Structures are given as C-alpha cells and as structure tokens.
Amino acid sequence: MPSLPLPAFRHWMRENGIDLYIVPTADPHSSEYIAAHWQTRQWLTGFTGSAGTAVVTADEALLWTDSRYWLQAAEQLEASGFTLMREGEADVPSPMAWIERTARAFYEQCHCPLAVGFEAETLPWDVYQQLEWLAPCVKNDVCTATDPFATLWPERPALPTSALRIQPVALAGMTLEDKVAQLWTKVRKDYPTEHFKHILLTDLADIAWLLNLRAADIDFNPVFYAYLILHEPSCSGLRGCLYTDISRIPEEVKRYLLAGGIGAKPYEEAYSLFEAEASNADEWMLLEGTNTLLAANARQCFGIHSISLYPSPVETLRAVKNETEQAGFRQAMVRDGVAMVKLLHWIDEQLPESELAVSEKLLALRAKGQGFRGLSFETISAYGPHGAIVHYEPTPESNAPLEARSFLLLDSGAQYDDGTTDITRTIPLGPLTHEARLAYTLVLKGHIALSATRFPEGTTGLQLDLAARRAMWQAGYDFGHGTGHGVGSHLCVHEGPHQIRKNPRPCTLVPFREGMVVTNEPGIYIEGRFGVRIENVLLCRVDGDTPYGHFCRFEALTLCPIDLRPVLWDMISAEERAWLNSYHAEVRRRLLPLLDDEADRLWLQQATEKC
C-alpha cells in the first residue's frame, strides 16, 4: 500500500474510464459503524472519523464530514491530498449538489456524460437514484466497475465471520417467534392496503434483535453480517431464511433457528434471491437502507423501473424496550456505575499520567463486571484542548499528558449481556478559568432541564431539544451535535428511529413513547482550550394523566456522580439543586452496597453529598 493512496487510486480511475468516484463511509447494510473490510474511505483519505463521504476526480479530492469531526479531519487530512468540506456550513454544498454541479459543467464542456463509479454494494439506493436523475449529464448505466480496493489495498482485512450466539429470552424478553409475529401484525396495521408476503431485512441490528442473536463482526457492536427474508405466516414452508456465512453458525444456533422456522444460506446468495423467489414485486417489502446492488437486482428481476423503500418496522419495535430489556439496562448501569466510581476515585487520588492511561484503567475496571462483552465505542479520553474535538480518541501519537488544571472529558460506554451503556463526565483536574466554570454550569443546567422535563406522550425530539439548550443560548453558547440518541439493548450504542436535536430531520419528528431509551448529552466546546459534556442515558416512563393528555417523564438509568466542583452556584436554582440531590441520593443508594473498598465508599459518599 502506498503511503499516499490517492495517486494510485486516480491511476486506477483513468485505466477504467471513470471521471468521478464516490466513496461513502458504508458497508452493504448502511451501518453507522462498519467492519474493517469496508473502511475504504478511511484507508483512502486517512480520516478515521465514523462519518464522511469522499469524492475523487482527476483534479479534486474532497472529504465531507459533519461538525463533530471538523477539527479532527483538518488534522488528519493534511498530507492526504484531500480537502475538507465542512458539511452543514451555509456555503458548503452537499456531496450530491457538488456532483450535480460538476456533472453539468463536464457535460457542457465535453458534450458527453460524466462516468461515475462506486461500489454498488455500499451505495444506498436513494443515492443511486439521484445519480440516475442527473442524466444525460451522468451516464444512464452509471459505472459500477470492479471494486478498486480489492487490488489497491493489498492488506485489506477479510470479511468478519464471528460465531453467532443466542441472546436468551431471559435477557431479550420475547422469543423469536413472538417478535416475528409482532412484526407482521405491525406491517398489516401500518400498511393495510398493501399485500406484502415477503420482507427483506438488511439492517444488522434489526436482524440481531429480531432473531435474538448476537456476534462480534463490528467493533463495539454485537451484530453480524447477514440478510434476512421473512415470509408471511400464510406462506408454506419456513418463516424465513438467514443469509450469512454458514461456517459461523454453531450447531446449537442452527437447531434454534430451525425450531423458529428460519433456514440458512450463504451470505452471497442474497444477491440472487429475487431470481430464486417466484413472486410479484408488490409482494415484497424492501426497507430504507437497501443497497444499490440488491435494489437493482430486484428491479431487473421484477421488470419494473421504480423500487419503493419503506421505513424499517423492526427499528420502531426495538426502540420501545420491554420490561425485561428495561430491567437489563438498570442492572448493566449498576455494574457500569461501580466501575466509574472506582475510576473517578482513582483519578482524584492520583493524577493519571495520560489520556490513554485513563482509558486503559476504565477498561480494566469494566472488564471485572459480570456479563461484560467489551466497549460500546472507542473511549473518548480528552484532556484540555482535545476536549473541544467532539469525537477525539487518543492514540499513541496524540496521547496527551494530564496536568493538574483544566478539564478531562471522558465519554465512554460498555456492552454487557443485559444492556449497553453510554456515559460522559467532565472532570476538573485542577484550577479552572471562569469561562470553563461558566460553560460547565450551563451544560449542567441544560442536562438537568431535559432530565426533569415532563411532557405529553408523543412529544418529539425536536420539541424536547430546547430544554437542553435554553440556558446556554441565553448566554450565547451552542453545540453542533445532537442532544440525544437511542441506545440498543445489548446492541448498537446509537439506535433510531428517534433523536433529540435542534435540526428538523425525520428522526427528530418521531414521537416519544413509554419504553424508549435516549441519551441526554449537551455540551460546550471552546476550540484550543477545553470541552464540556455531561451525559446520562434516560428511559421514557409514564407520569400520569391530566385533562390535557397522557404525560411522561424521564428516569435516569445512568448511575454515576456528577462533579459539582466547577459549578457556579449562584446560577443554580432551588429546583436544580433538588434534582441533583435526588439523583445523587439514588446513585448512592444503588452503588454504595456494591463497593467493597472502604476508600471507594467514602469517596462516593462525599461525591453525592447534598448541595
């Protein structure tokens, strides 16, 4: 592999007659986090963030990413040959808008269409359709040339094939058969005029949740690469078929699947499934996120031009946690809270050497917890200026020594058999500036406001977002990332369909319902100096009826003290003090009996004293 892959990549484009190539951060399943095999954008650009789109032409190489990664990308792209496009800024076009402008200019100048290349497996169907709409400026038969990374990336990791394991009903709360029946009931209710007989699931978390199976194909996400077809109950034969690497299925899991009416076939056979299934196009329910290779095959086999994609009904079902899943979250949070208390006491007792030393210590403490399955994402241990880089992850090269001043921002999480955790605490290591204390206090006020909000069931994340931002907006501060995201039940740490954020998007218009889990993580970031974020995981619970509706409130699932040393107390109201005291009393009540070290017990008591 050359030290700078871009020249070799452009040479490959010329040899294959490609004018523009799109490299999304994607795998065939539209996963947020992807296995190393599919990290082609990272290999080509050198940018390691989890979101971004690269576009390469003969003269330009551009990388789009959102505000979470602007500082990180600016550093990592310096020697790559790529230019950073700050996605979301007013004067920055979207990748597709830029491609459209480039294609039209090319057509006007050369009087021929632009040849666009991509990996059809990793390009979402809706993006492909946008390319088709650009005809005649883009070729009607948009180029899907041979995978360039198969030859240009000689050390490309193989596809993962971790062994499947059963998530027992004692942790899942429902059987495979019950979940499949629930899914078909929902489809019939939501689409009463349709006649779906087959559903093709491509989302890895959907498949893992529905089948009560887990694996380890993607770092931090207990999922496995597979497709799943489900047949309506009236169809003869099996309920469905799982397309995955057959060698990864232990005999116990094979028996379990067959008992649930699910067969198994090799992963690659999914790309010819429409040829094997004799049925009409209107009998198939294809879901958003279906990749171009699958959708194009369906269009060809069914002899139709238009393919409709529907929102995943499984995502909506798994977003509402059943009582067993809720109990699992609470149990996992207790074990995670014990590890966090031990870590925070350790940091207070002896200033750790570096950012990585903190990450390594926390991993060792969490690993002692029952049912620990690894981290839920790479730990963000960010000291001082690194805290302003929203998704900074320390490396041996960037690892900063800690000093007895400023903040350490620690955002981390773990996977346990019974739940997934995600927590951020901002820790003062010594004297702070007034601005640092102000930022911390404003973030805390926003965190409390959202946690304490009572709202009618059906309120959306767009509406709830104001609670977290109001105090900082009044002071002239803001943050670019979302305020909250769903969390899986021993699944992906980022889960839809709901989010809390200020930007109108489909995810922010999803009504909140009892049983939904969401994070609460407002922040303030001062470039070059520090960052502040405070995060808990919340559970939406019913809070009674009034003449005006069915009301809900949030239960804080995360159990860990919030550091009060940086707080400017003259800015904290009596109601906010009451919330802090109530939360800390619950943390103390739940965690104190599980701490076997007297020094840890004393530290927790002091950290949760009334304010």
Distance, CA of 353 to chain centre: 30
Token representation of residue 295: 């959708």
> Range with the lowest mean pLDDT among 199-208, 275-284, 462-471?
275-284
The single residue listed with the structure tokens 């469905």 is 240
Please count the helices (runs of H) and the strands (runs of E) in the chain: 19, 27
Convert 482-496 to b/e letters by CB count within 10 Å (16 or more is b).
bbbbbbbbbbbbbbb
pLDDT band of residue 3 (cuts 50, 70, 90) is low
User: For 51-95, what is each residue's pLDDT tens digit?
Assistant: 999 999 999 999 999 887 888 899 899 989 999 999 989 899 999
Residue 540 parent element (H or E): strand 536-546
Question: For residue 593, which amino acid is it?
Answer: P
**How many whole angstroms separate alpha carbon 516 and alpha carbon 507?**
13
Q: How confident is the model at residue 182 (pLDDT cuts 50, 70, 90)?
A: very high
Strands (E) in 53-125, as ranges, are 53-57, 61-65, 83-86, 116-117
Nearest to 164 by CA among 239, 242, 107: 242
Q: Which amino acid is at 592?
A: L
pLDDT at 36: 95
Nearest to 284 by CA among 230, 238, 227, 241: 230
pLDDT of res. 375: 98
Looking at residues 244-252, what average pLDDT do you find?
97
Residue 535 · residue 422 · CB < 8 Å: yes
Structure tokens at 549: 């509706």
Q: What is the pLDDT of residues 536-546, one digit of tens each?
A: 999 999 999 99
- Kindly give the interhelix angle for 323-349 and 598-607, rounded to the nearest 10 degrees: 100
Three-state DSSP at 208 gives helix
State how far Cα 150 lies from the chain centre. 27
pLDDT at residue 378 greater than cutoff 90: yes
User: What is the structure's pLDDT at 306?
Assistant: 83
CA distance 522 to 143: 43
E strand map for 505-599: 517-520, 523-526, 530-533, 536-546, 549-556
Q: What is the pLDDT of residue 144?
A: 66
Average pLDDT over the chain, rounded to an integer: 94
Give the chain's length: 611
- Per residue, the 3-state secondary structure of 381-414, as one string, reads EEEHHHHHCCCCCCCCCCCCECCCCCEEEEEECE
Q: Which residue has the tokens 């709202």?
A: 455
Supply the pLDDT for residue 55: 97
Q: What pairing do the DSSP bridges indicate for beta strands 165-166 and 213-214?
A: antiparallel
**Which pLDDT value is given to residue 273?**
87
Q: Alpha helices, DSSP H only, in 367-488?
A: 434-452, 461-474
**Which of 75, 94, 98 minimizes the C-alpha distance to 86?**
94
Q: pLDDT value at position 166?
A: 98
**Exposure pattern of 152-189 as b/e (b: 16+ CB <10 Å)?**
bbeebeeebbbebbbbeeebbbbebeebbeebbeebee
pLDDT at 2 > cutoff 50: no
Q: List, in order, residues 6 or more apart from 520 with CB less than 8 Å away.
A: 447, 450, 451, 468, 483, 484, 500, 535, 536, 537, 538, 554
Q: What is the pLDDT of residue 444?
A: 98
Confidence of residue 1 (pLDDT cuts 50, 70, 90): very low
Q: What is the band of 304 on the pLDDT scale with cuts at 50, 70, 90?
A: confident
Contact at 8 Å (CB) between 103 and 134?
A: yes
List Cβ neighbours of 371 (8 Å cut-off, separation of 6 or more): 332, 335, 416, 417, 418
Q: What are phi and psi of 61, to 5 degrees?
A: -140, 115
> With 50 as the cut, is the pLDDT of residue 291 above it?
yes
**Among 485, 444, 482, which residue's Cα sits nearest to residue 579?**
444
pLDDT at 308 over 50: yes
pLDDT of residue 276: 72
> What is the pLDDT confidence band of residue 219, given thresholds at 50, 70 and 90?
very high
